[in-house]
């Protein structure tokens, strides 16, 4: 049953690259569409807020659909959206091109995760989703930085055009190789899925995801700009830096998959603590090759780990509705991504790029305190999660 998971991981690469490729292209898009960096950063906010607003409802609704057809449809949608983005004449068309995939991402990611867990069993949820999450890490390792390198060589529109072709190709691969029988799930009613929100513990877990991702993307949204303006790197060097940032995420993905199966909240606190160190150390070491590499490495490992840890943490907290729980994490994470992009833009306008690491660290510290509170609040349920 490894083939379906690997196919979904490959599709996940395209889905997540579509969301995050804009991080590396932000300076080029801003210049070409004649807007400021914070204004271009609102494209990240738009995508994220759309996922947060509609993700749980769409996932609950589409959970009843046959998985193979659903996943193929989502990838075709992504191909169309990236094609529109490649030809966008202004920021408004670009914003419209970001709306469509934002509706498909939570459906794909939540239901693909549930499918992986259903294949291997809940006791190995972390490892199964780590395999799906490998597509996310590859999006960071290759998708975002290669997109940046393509943008520097041929223009950012070419990066979106290539991503569109890849999305259509992945849809074809799923059509040919993904078996229907491996993706059937038991159906849970729309209303019963929303019942898990009655639990204060569940609400606390969603809030924890919001805080973690707000902290991440207060700084990460503008990482390419930091490397260009503060470190003085050109687009090619920025692309290679982002590739290194993503490459160490392979380590984080593996560590996160094992740690979250032992104790989700402890794993979250551990990786958050190391992330603070990486974020705060970045700018002070911006002109030190060794110091900059160490800061980016720590940040890259912990960011990849927390993507996985947050996702599995919510699914383990609601085993009766894991896909819907995953969609709540996706919604919370994207709300945090949108807030982080907005807050990071305000920090740049008010105190400059140098303040991003400290602003981001404040959110991550708050998430550690909340995780401690959740462990104290209901230890039996948290341990069972």
Q: CA torsion sign, 260 to 262 to 266 to 270?
A: negative
The tens digit of pLDDT for each residue in 295-334 reads: 999 999 999 899 889 888 888 887 777 778 878 888 888 8
- CB distance 16 to 137 below 8 Å: no
- At 66 the three-state DSSP class reads coil
With 0-12 CB in 10 A as exposed, 13-18 as middle and 19+ as buried, what is 179?
exposed
pLDDT cut 70: percent of the chain above it:
89
- What's the whole-model pTM score? 0.76
User: 212-239 pLDDT, tens per residue?
Assistant: 999 999 999 899 889 999 999 988 888 8
**Helix/strand/coil percentages in the chain, nearest 5:** 90, 0, 10
Angstrom distance (rounded) from CA 286 to CA 304: 22
Q: How confident is the model at residue 66 (pLDDT cuts 50, 70, 90)?
A: confident
Distance in angstroms (rounded) separating the CA atoms of residues 68 and 343: 38
Q: Report pLDDT digits (tens) over 164-203.
A: 999 999 999 888 887 765 444 455 666 666 777 788 888 8
Among candidate residues 205, 204, 347, 371, the one with its CA nearest the CA of residue 279: 347
Give the number of other Cβ atoms within 10 Å of residue 356's Cβ.
28
* Element containing residue 15 per DSSP (H, E): helix 2-32
Q: Would you call 232 helix, strand, or coil by DSSP?
A: coil
Does the structure show a pLDDT above 60 at 383? no
Are the beta carbons of 86 and 158 closer than 8 angstroms?
A: yes
Return the structure tokens found at 301. Answer: 């490992």
Q: Supply angle C-alpha 273, 139, 248, rounded to 5.
A: 40
Local confidence band at 211 (pLDDT 50, 70, 90 cut-offs): very high
Model confidence at 127, in pLDDT bands (50, 70, 90)? low
| For the chain, percent of residues with pLDDT exceeding 90 | 39
Summary mean pLDDT of the chain: 85
Phi, psi of 73 (to 5 degrees): -60, -40
Tokens of 149: 């390198």
In this structure, of 110-124, 268-282, 358-372, the range with the lowest mean pLDDT score is: 110-124
pLDDT (mean) for 266-276: 95
Q: Return the number of other C-beta atoms located less than 10 Å from residue 187's C-beta.
A: 9
Least-confidence region, from 25-34, 61-70, 273-282: 61-70
């Amino acid at each position: 049953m490894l083939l379906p998971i690997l196919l979904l991981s490959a599709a996940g690469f395209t889905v997540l690259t579509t969301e995050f490729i804009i991080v590396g292209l932000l300076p080029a898009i801003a210049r070409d569409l004649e807007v400021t960096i914070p204004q271009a950063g609102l494209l990240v906010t738009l995508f994220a807020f759309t996922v947060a607003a509609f993700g749980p409802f769409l996932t609950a609704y589409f959970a009843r659909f046959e998985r193979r057809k659903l996943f193929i449809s989502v990838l075709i949608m992504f191909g169309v959206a990236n094609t529109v983005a490649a030809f966008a004449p202004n920021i408004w068309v670009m914003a419209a091109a970001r709306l469509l995939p934002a509706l498909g991402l939570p459906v794909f990611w939540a239901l693909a995760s549930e499918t992986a867990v259903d294949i291997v069993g809940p006791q190995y949820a972390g490892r199964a989703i780590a395999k799906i999450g490998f597509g996310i890490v590859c999006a960071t390792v290759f998708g975002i930085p290669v997109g940046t390198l393509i943008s520097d060589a041929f223009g950012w529109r070419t990066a979106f055009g290539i991503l569109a072709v890849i999305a259509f190709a992945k849809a074809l691969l799923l059509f040919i190789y993904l078996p229907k029988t491996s993706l059937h799930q038991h159906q849970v009613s729309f209303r019963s899925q929303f019942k898990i929100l009655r639990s204060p513990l569940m609400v606390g877990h969603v809030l924890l995801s919001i805080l973690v991702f707000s902290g991440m993307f207060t700084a990460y949204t503008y990482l390419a700009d930091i490397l260009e303006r503060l470190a003085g790197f050109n687009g090619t060097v920025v692309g290679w830096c982002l590739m290194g940032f993503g490459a160490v995420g392979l380590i984080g993905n593996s560590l996160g998959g094992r740690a979250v199966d032992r104790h989700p909240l402890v794993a979250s606190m551990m990786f958050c603590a190391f992330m603070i160190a990486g974020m705060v150390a970045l700018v002070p070491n911006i002109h030190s090759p060794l110091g900059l590499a160490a800061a980016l490495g720590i940040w890259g490992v912990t960011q990849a780990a927390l993507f996985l840890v947050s996702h599995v943490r919510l699914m383990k907290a609601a085993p009766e509705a894991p896909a819907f729980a995953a969609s709540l994490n996706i919604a919370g994470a994207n709300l945090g991504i949108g807030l982080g992009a907005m807050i990071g833009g305000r920090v740049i306008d008010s105190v400059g790029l140098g303040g991003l690491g400290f602003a981001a660290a404040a959110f991550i510290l708050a998430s550690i305190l909340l995780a401690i509170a959740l462990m104290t609040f209901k230890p039996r349920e948290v341990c069972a999660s």
